[in-house]
């Protein structure tokens, strides 16, 4: 199957909107591959820390991004042959990811890595610019959002559930700062892509949000 005809469902949205969980479940239901693009930026931040590359060193980070050996196996992630644990989901990793994602050379270096996930029978990709930059020809584009308060609460429950410490007030502050940083960066800012459907998940359960995405995908396939 030619790469251009392999269907892609692109789910973008702000931090902690639930897009990763929704995308993963949609992929499982459809039997599609799954790309957590945010994990690539988190992995780069982690690799930079391991190898002593400053998060402000755009050239060094871009070179590291090209060299990164990443492997996804279900929910397990491997970086340079070593398994990555819950540290990848920490607030520190999230902040580092947002910082390096603002660098144009880094985004360019990771573009081909992201597009390589497009394999038959299809792909569900989640991130900030999946529909607007990486997969502009996606058959279904969704911008999944939620109120900052709802996202902070979800993030808090996620961290506590993993046995990690968390402060909901600080999480809310960080989410608002990250929203501002992601929406105002010069390259691939967080935005609703042309043709994308806005889905506010604030009042929805994960199951309801998944069903809403599936409804939109099936409708798009009939057009």
Largest CA distance in the chain: 50
Q: Where are the beta strands (DSSP E) in the chain?
A: 8-12, 33-36, 70-73, 76-79, 82-84, 123-127, 140-145, 197-200
pLDDT of residue 1: 55
Question: What pTM, to 2 d.p., does this model score?
Answer: 0.85
Cα–chain-centroid distance for residue 126?
Answer: 4
pLDDT of residue 63: 96
pLDDT of residue 88: 86
- Domain coordinates in residue numbering, the chain: 7-218
Tell me the C-alpha distance between 92 and 95, whole Å: 5
Binding residues for ATP: 13-21
Tens place of pLDDT per residue across the chain (223 aa): 556 689 999 999 998 899 999 999 999 999 999 999 989 999 999 999 999 999 999 999 999 999 999 988 777 889 999 999 888 877 788 888 888 988 999 999 999 899 999 999 999 999 989 999 999 999 999 999 999 999 999 989 988 988 888 999 999 999 998 888 888 877 777 889 999 999 999 999 999 999 999 999 999 998 7
pLDDT of residue 34: 93
CATH number of 7-218: 3.40.50.300
The sign of the torsion formed by the CA atoms of 205, 10, 144, 114 equals positive
pLDDT of residue 170: 93
Q: Rg of the chain over CA atoms, in angstroms?
A: 17
pLDDT of residue 2: 56
pLDDT of residue 141: 97
Query: What pLDDT, in 10s, does the model give residues 44-97?
Result: 999 999 999 999 999 999 999 999 999 887 778 899 999 998 888 777 888 888
Binding residues: 13-21
Q: Are 131 and 197 in contact (CB under 8 A)?
A: no
């Amino acid at each position: 199957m030619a790469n251009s005809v392999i269907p892609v469902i692109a789910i973008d949205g702000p931090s902690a909107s639930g897009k990763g969980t929704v995308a993963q479940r949609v992929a499982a239901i459809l039997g599609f591959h799954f790309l957590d693009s945010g994990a690539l930026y988190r992995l780069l931040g982690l690799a930079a820390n391991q190898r002593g590359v400053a998060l402000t060193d755009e050239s060094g980070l871009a070179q590291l991004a090209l060299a990164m050996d990443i492997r996804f196996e279900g929910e397990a992630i491997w970086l340079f042959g070593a398994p990555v644990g819950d540290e990848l989901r920490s607030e520190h990793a999230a902040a580092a990811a947002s910082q390096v994602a603002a660098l144009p050379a880094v985004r360019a270096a990771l573009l081909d890595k992201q597009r390589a996930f497009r394999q038959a029978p299809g792909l569900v990709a989640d991130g900030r610019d999946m529909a607007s930059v990486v997969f502009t020809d996606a058959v279904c584009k969704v911008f999944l959002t939620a109120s900052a308060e709802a996202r902070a609460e979800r993030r808090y429950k996620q961290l506590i559930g993993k046995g990690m410490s968390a402060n909901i007030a600080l999480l809310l502050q960080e989410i608002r700062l990250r929203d501002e940083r992601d929406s105002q960066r010069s390259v691939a800012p967080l935005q609703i892509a042309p043709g994308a459907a806005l889905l506010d998940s604030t009042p929805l359960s994960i199951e309801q949000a998944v069903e809403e995405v599936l409804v939109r995908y099936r409708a798009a396939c009939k057009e």
